[in-house]
Structure 1
Amino acid sequence: MKTTTTLLLSLVFVLLFSTSWARTHEDFLQCLSLHSPNTTSISKLIYTPNNSSYLSILQFSIQNLRFTEPSTPKPLVIITPLHESQIQATICCSKNHGLQIRVRSGGHDYEGLSYVSEVPFVIVDLRNLRSITINAETNTAWVESGALIGELYYRIAEKSKTLAFPASVCPTVGVGGHFSGGGYGALLRKYGLAADNVIDARIIDINGNILDRKSMGEDLFWAIRGGGGASFGVILSWKVKLVVVPSTVTVFTLDRTLEHNATNLVHKWQYIAHKFPQELFIRAFVRRVNSSQDGKKKTIQATFQSLYLGGVDKLIPLMQESFPELGLTKQDCTEMSWIKSILYFHGFTNGEPLEVLLNRTQTSVLYFKAKSDYVKEPIPVTGWEKIWKKFYEEEAETAQMIFSPYGGKMDEISESSIPFPHRVGNIYQIQHLVYWLEEGEEASKRHISWIRRHYSYMAPYVSKFPRAAYMNYRDLDVGVNNKLGNTSYAQASIWGSKYFNNNFDRLVQVKSKVDPGNFFRNEQSIPSKEW
């Protein structure tokens, strides 16, 4: 009897909610038409579940299959604005009708927060706002938030062979989220983060005002460069400082298995990668593979991949002096332009044209879960040997760890310069990843359980008090805000201190000033607080 009553109450709730949802939906669309200067154009940029192209628009930018399930919450409306005024109208109408806004540029948010919410919401998809203006004379560029990193790189290369920008090695990452969370790539040790090289921005605030650096003030400008732009408004565009690279750079990729000294090589890498000259970036990957000695036997493979800002004739002596154990030879190396190195790092090694950087879709999309760590002291050999054992478990077949070295420029920038605090004292960063192809909740649970066990196992070897994490490798396991209502400072600081360390307090102060009502919010947005 109790079960029947519960089911009836649930059914009544669903019916009432559906009726309210439909009414809100119609009122919201009418509001958009009234507040948009050109009602004809805005109507063509709105997608609702009744549109035949709704699902294709929604799924086009989803980079993690975990969020393509039928049970995944869907937006009430998707808006693909052509003009800034249409975003202003969306903010106004969302406030009036109690809807959340999720802003999406590339769709790479690891937990899908740019296009998923469990409360009624709309997506502002910035795909149409992606113009890029390069000024090769002043070494600057303006780039709209809907552009992808690959598009920015391509436009830079059109203007100059010796200008670049220090951002992701993945060309399909969206500029908006990448810059506002920090953003790094193979130029990290020479030029720091993408956010370190932002010199102006344009943002729409809670009141619909469009502000630049001067009008927003230095506090808000500080906050959006690494503190997550989605907490403070809708960032329209960024002005960035381009950096100088040589006309010729050198790359290499070397694989070493356990049978070929992989453990000792990874161990040695920890002591030297962050001390190399700033021009040399060598990251490492580890994953499970079939042994070359016995195709049925599993082993661990370490891959060392490098970008050197210079020619091979200078790289080889440097490596022979600092890392002779790797056995690098001139034949292992390839000289190329910086823009070609972008293709190389993304796996385009078969002579693909630069135009592949303009492709807005990933070559493959999988189910995955990720986590991040920072390492301050080298992990001992015995630690690595224990870690390898975790990779022999069934769920780890396509798992990997990616190690990105710090040092260089990162040691020269204060941890309070921007909200991203992970600077001096960190010798490298770890990205933990597990992928899978099987559909269904059971497969997801098994693989996510594996990476959580692996993450727990890593605790003795990584940063502590707090155990730091990187915002752009979003991980809701480190803590979340309340789905409804306000979130206390104490609750938000559980995850906030891991992403931002001592910078979290200042982020809360900025948020409380510019968005005291906490309109711009998600599961890991900066909360407002009375100070």
Structure 2
Amino acid sequence: MFPLIPLLCLLLLPFSAPTAAADSVYSTFLHCFQSNSNSSAGVSSIVFARENASYTSVLRAYIRNARFNTSSAPKPVIIVTPLTESHVQSAVICSKKLGIQLKIRSGGHDYEGVSYISDVEFIILDMSNLRTVTVDVADQSAWVGAGATLGEVYYRIWEKSKVLGYPAGVCPTVGVGGHISGGGYGNMLRKYGLAVDHVLDARIVDVKGRILDSKSMGEDLFWAIKGGGGASFGVVLAYKIRLVPVPETVTIFRVERTIEQNAADLVVRWQEVAPTTDENLFMRLLLQPVSSKIKKGTRTIRASVVALFLGKSEELVSLLKKELPELGLQKENCTEMSWIDSVLWWGNFDIGTSPEALLDRNVDSAGFLRRKSDYVQKPISRDGLNWLYKKMIEIGKTGLVFNPYGGKMSEISSTATPFPHRAGNLYKIQYSVNWNEPGPEADQEFVKQIRRLYSFMTPFVSKNPRQSFLNYRDLDIGINNNDKNSFEDGKVYGFKYFGENFERLVKVKTAVDPENFFWNEQSIPTHSRKLDFGGTMKSAEKIEILLTINELYQLADLQGCILGRLLGQFAAYGHLGC
């Protein structure tokens, strides 16, 4: 068996024909695109080569993290901005034919830029033009294009009805495609659950270029794209969503306390109340290191409670006077408004802003940021919180956002959708740091800060596995290292994002995309390894290795182990237990 190992390892190395010149790739793709599209007129105006004068503006429009908006960041060889579903089909067919990775971007809010950067040659399929939102008030449903933003969805619902809403995210420029397919939550999750819990149907382009709805794609694939990340399985064109009733009057408030103002007692009690209180109440808690206004020249922690109550202020004040007196909420702290006005307020617009502001996509707008996530299943003790405050002040700038669960979230099965984080979780933590200084030194400093705080929190959060939220994409928890089918790599992050649902997702992926065309750095892997040396090769010329990933890597590890012994480099291969 050992003589085969060098051959197997050789097969694992990148192997492809010399990369064609960019203009040749463009013309080949464009010809293929025109040949396969039902609407070929004006195609050259939606397929952008790097030399195109509009290429940079199209690329930058939906880059939402400035860390990846630099000259050194990897750039796509082509950008496609489809106007029709047929254009999406053509993009899939032609990128597959050319053997080039396809990245799918809706709003560009994925924190690690997975939808628009790659270490291999790639094409961006930018879905921003497919933004139609069609609301059916009588049916209390809507079809929403994957390229629509949440702001556009909320606005179109409000146009048709003042007493219907949708339980999705609070940032209006987030794209629907990624948000819903990854789970998607907002400030009504304790009342109604996640955005994905209200998906009635979907349209998707599969790896063969076919358009499928929920019936033709089958139960398993429909389940997978409702929280398992649509880009692992195909290109989601649109979702049909169920709308939910909202009262004519809702109440919002924001109350802030520092440690010197009894914030420590508030945070302890918040952990008990926020996940168990009336399901109409969502109280987000933010912890941030700030300069103290009481003790000049020192740093302190500010706790901010930001809330939406699906009801009137009088009822809310009465409720929290009993359940959370540490907050000291008064009626003057509260503002009653319509649901659409609360959407604007949560989106950081001033009170009184017109709903039309939700239609502003704020393109080419990005700040430097890094995010991570955790789940808390047992309240953190007062002592633990005190240590946390000290660590946050010591580290510098990283803040924490606590999002309470309970209510509807505890009633839905952990396997109903791929999103598993349901009953048993008190709240989700988002680690958050933003900065303004460009350059690798600033990036390294602030990324180091957030990693330190994440490491410190290990004793207080979920374990075996330590859970994470897919839509808060975090490449620190594992990467599928460009070998396009590593089940072993995929397990590392897969169980953290999806728990017991990961194995079912892998089965679905293996069935619908066995050659793993829809691959990215944290996509769902398949069970077996297929090596395709060049996307344009005939099937008879393809080489298939009939080994599982695990078996293949064991062979590779064994070879490295033997080599390490021969060279005396035990340290390099110590992890293999030679």
Distance (Å, rounded) in 2 between the aligned partners of 1:24 and 1:134 = 41
Cα drift, residue 35 of structure 1:
2.0
Cα drift, residue 212 of structure 1:
0.5
Distance (Å, rounded) in 2 between the aligned partners of 1:24 and 1:160 = 48
Output the amino acid matched with 2:436. L
3-state SS of the aligned residue for 1:199? strand
Q: 1:165 to 1:360 in 2, by over 3 A?
A: same
Corresponding position: 1:473 with 2:472: yes
Structure 2 gap ranges (5+): 1-13, 529-547, 549-578
Distance (Å, rounded) in 2 between the aligned partners of 1:381 and 1:343 = 35
Output the amino acid matched with 2:404. P
Distance (Å, rounded) in 2 between the aligned partners of 1:269 and 1:392 = 21
1:44-193 equivalences under 5 Å are 44-193=45-194
Q: CA contact under 8 A between 2:341 and 2:351: conserved in structure 1?
A: no
Distance (Å, rounded) in 2 between the aligned partners of 1:485 and 1:492 = 10
3-state SS of the aligned residue for 2:366? coil
3-state SS of the aligned residue for 1:281? strand
3-state SS of the aligned residue for 1:283? strand
Deviates more, 1:83-92 or 1:502-511: 83-92
Name the structure 1 match of 2:370.
369
Distance (Å, rounded) in 2 between the aligned partners of 1:364 and 1:119 = 26
Give 2:512's match in structure 1, choosing from 507, 511, 514. 514
Name the structure 2 match of 1:402.
401
Name the structure 2 match of 1:352.
353
Distance (Å, rounded) in 2 between the aligned partners of 1:382 and 1:362 = 44
1:5-44 equivalences under 5 Å are 19-44=20-45
CA deviations over 1:107-147 (Å, ceiling 9, x no partner): 00111011111111111111110001101111100000000
Cα drift, residue 346 of structure 1:
1.6
Cα drift, residue 362 of structure 1:
6.6
1:296-375 equivalences under 5 Å are 296-361=297-362, 365-375=366-376
Name the structure 2 match of 1:277.
278
CA deviations over 1:439-492 (Å, ceiling 9, x no partner): 1111101111111111111000000000000000000000011213421x2221
Distance (Å, rounded) in 2 between the aligned partners of 1:434 and 1:17 = 42
Name the structure 1 match of 2:558.
none
CA deviations over 1:330-356 (Å, ceiling 9, x no partner): 000000011110111121124221111
Distance (Å, rounded) in 1 between the aligned partners of 2:48 and 2:364 = 26
3-state SS of the aligned residue for 2:108? coil
Distance (Å, rounded) in 1 between the aligned partners of 2:502 and 2:333 = 44
Cα drift, residue 40 of structure 1:
3.0
Distance (Å, rounded) in 1 between the aligned partners of 2:93 and 2:515 = 14
Distance (Å, rounded) in 2 between the aligned partners of 1:302 and 1:181 = 29
3-state SS of the aligned residue for 1:391? helix
Name the structure 1 match of 2:216.
215
Per the normalisation by structure 1, the TM-score is 0.94
Count of matched residue positions in the alignment of Structure 1 and Structure 2: 514
3-state SS of the aligned residue for 2:500? helix
Corresponding position: 1:230 with 2:231: yes
3-state SS of the aligned residue for 1:107? coil
Corresponding position: 1:262 with 2:260: no
Structure 1 gap ranges (5+): 1-12
Output the amino acid matched with 1:150. G
3-state SS of the aligned residue for 1:203? strand
Distance (Å, rounded) in 2 between the aligned partners of 1:170 and 1:116 = 22
Output the amino acid matched with 2:382. V
Q: CA contact under 8 A between 2:202 and 2:239: conserved in structure 1?
A: yes
Distance (Å, rounded) in 1 between the aligned partners of 2:308 and 2:432 = 23
Q: CA contact under 8 A between 2:110 and 2:473: conserved in structure 1?
A: yes
1:416-431 equivalences under 5 Å are 416-431=415-430
Cα drift, residue 390 of structure 1:
2.5
Distance (Å, rounded) in 1 between the aligned partners of 2:432 and 2:455 = 14
CA deviations over 1:242-296 (Å, ceiling 9, x no partner): 0001100011000000110112211110011110011011110011222222453
Distance (Å, rounded) in 2 between the aligned partners of 1:19 and 1:201 = 37
Q: CA contact under 8 A between 2:341 and 2:352: conserved in structure 1?
A: no
Query: CA-atom RMSD, angstroms?
Result: 1.6
Distance (Å, rounded) in 2 between the aligned partners of 1:345 and 1:385 = 29
Corresponding position: 1:492 with 2:490: yes
